[in-house]
Amino acid sequence: MAKLKPPVEKNEMVELTFEDVTHEGDAVGKVNGYPLFVPYGLPGEKAIVKVLKVKKNFGYGKLMKVLEQSPARIEPPCDVFYQCGGCQLQHMSYEMQLEVKQKQVKDALRKLGHIEGIPIHPTIGMEDPWRYRNKVQIPVRGVEGRLETGFFKKRSHDIIDMDTCPITDEQNDRMVEAIRRIAEDAGIAPYDEEHHKGTLRHIMVRNGKATNEIMIVLVTRTEKLDYEEKIVNEIHKAYPNVKSIIQNVNSKRTNVILGHQTKVLWGEEYIYDTIGDVKFAISAKSFYQINPTQTKKLYDQALKYANLTGSETVIDAYCGIGTISLFLAKNAKKVYGVEIVPEAIEDAKNNAKLNGIDNAEFFVGAAEKVMTWWKAQGLKPDVIVVDPPRKGCDEALLQAMIDMKPKKIVYVSCNPSTLARDLRILEDGGFKTLEVQPVDMFPQTSHIEAVANVVLDV
């Protein structure tokens, strides 16, 4: 049987009407049923598109001209939006972003999880969806004898020289620029990725939104940092709310930003921040949510679905540094947190002490193995909370949850596709999904978080 040939060819110009937006933020239009994915298009728009790549079942195109513009199209406030890969949706009104993200969750549950007829609530957004990131990690390179900082261009390691990012806290923006200038004046050699030479690889700045404390991390290829004293003195004299200056050594040829070795050059090892009434110590390598304003809304939703009365035993799988665990502990009888990263568990224990919380215990290990062992010991949780990485829950963990038969599971997800897959497995194992609440943790990007309310179907 002859293979059906795609109805378009590479470099062909076609007229498209965009119907939808993918989970990566690309618009989708069809030519005789053949989908083309096109960045920067909006649903409802008619446009001229150049075909860039043709595959068997779909292709990619470039937006050449918008013929009929959507009322939701706006002028991106960032000068480098179309070059930088950090944001995907700045050309889309915030109202449409929230609608698109709700639809993504709804579509994933229907198509992948075969879950329909339950409320997928309107996305909880931000009042001001800009300047929300409390952490920035900027690569440093040398260009014509100068130190240059900026994000990488899409699908490349070429730096876009930039001095501001509209989704990053303004203070962090200014700190990166100041440190670049101080390092350049001191004569610090920038990292040369091609030849694996030079010293300064990345500048990382973290800040506590509630406390206004700042941590600066200089990521270097070499253990020796030339002019260390001069750099440290200039930073902490000029910027009094800098509480911590850290050097992280990453001597490997790698895309991973931080290396294993970290040392305090000046000040404290931690800065502090609060979400609601819970205080957190944040180190250079701590995982801490980058949008604390929305994190509070996300955790409030998880608490609402958990519906704790003070008598429950709760398991928090993938507990990280204890962020959700400590919120739960204030309303539960006992919380058990499990996480495979030992440093995160140390942070979780310290954060429990910091807040005077003594009904939360934390354990290092793979959640599925630890939970199977807990079940063998007779532990019967009333509620299980999971907040897995993008790949979703391990199959063995889903089975462990099914075997434990808690009255309630609260699933916090950063990927609608794996959420849908995992909810299907839980439903087949005797649970029922009641409702899902999307929360916009990363405005201007295509990412969406969601909290699912799941109960034992008896």
For the chain, report the end-to-end CA distance as a whole number of angstroms: 51
Answer for the pair 126, 298: CB distance below 8 angstroms, yes or no: no
Q: What is the DSSP letter of 401?
A: H
Tokens for 293, please give them.
Answer: 């304003």
Task: Give the span between the Cα atoms of 424 and 34, in whole angstroms.
Answer: 29
Answer for the pair 56, 85: CB distance below 8 angstroms, yes or no: no
Task: Give the span between the Cα atoms of 428 and 86, in whole angstroms.
Answer: 38
Answer for the pair 292, 367: CB distance below 8 angstroms, yes or no: no
393 is catalytic: no
Task: Give the span between the Cα atoms of 319 and 338, in whole angstroms.
Answer: 6
Half-sphere exposure of 49 (CA within 13 A, CB side): 33
Task: Give the span between the Cα atoms of 92 and 192, in whole angstroms.
Answer: 37
Catalytic residue among 84, 165, 319, 414: 414
Task: Give the span between the Cα atoms of 336 and 355, in whole angstroms.
Answer: 16
Q: How far is CA 235 from the centre of its chain?
A: 29
Tokens for 174, please give them.
Answer: 């200014």
How buried is residue 391: exposed, middle or buried, by Cβ count under 10 Å (0-12/13-18/19+)? exposed
Active centre residues (catalytic): 414
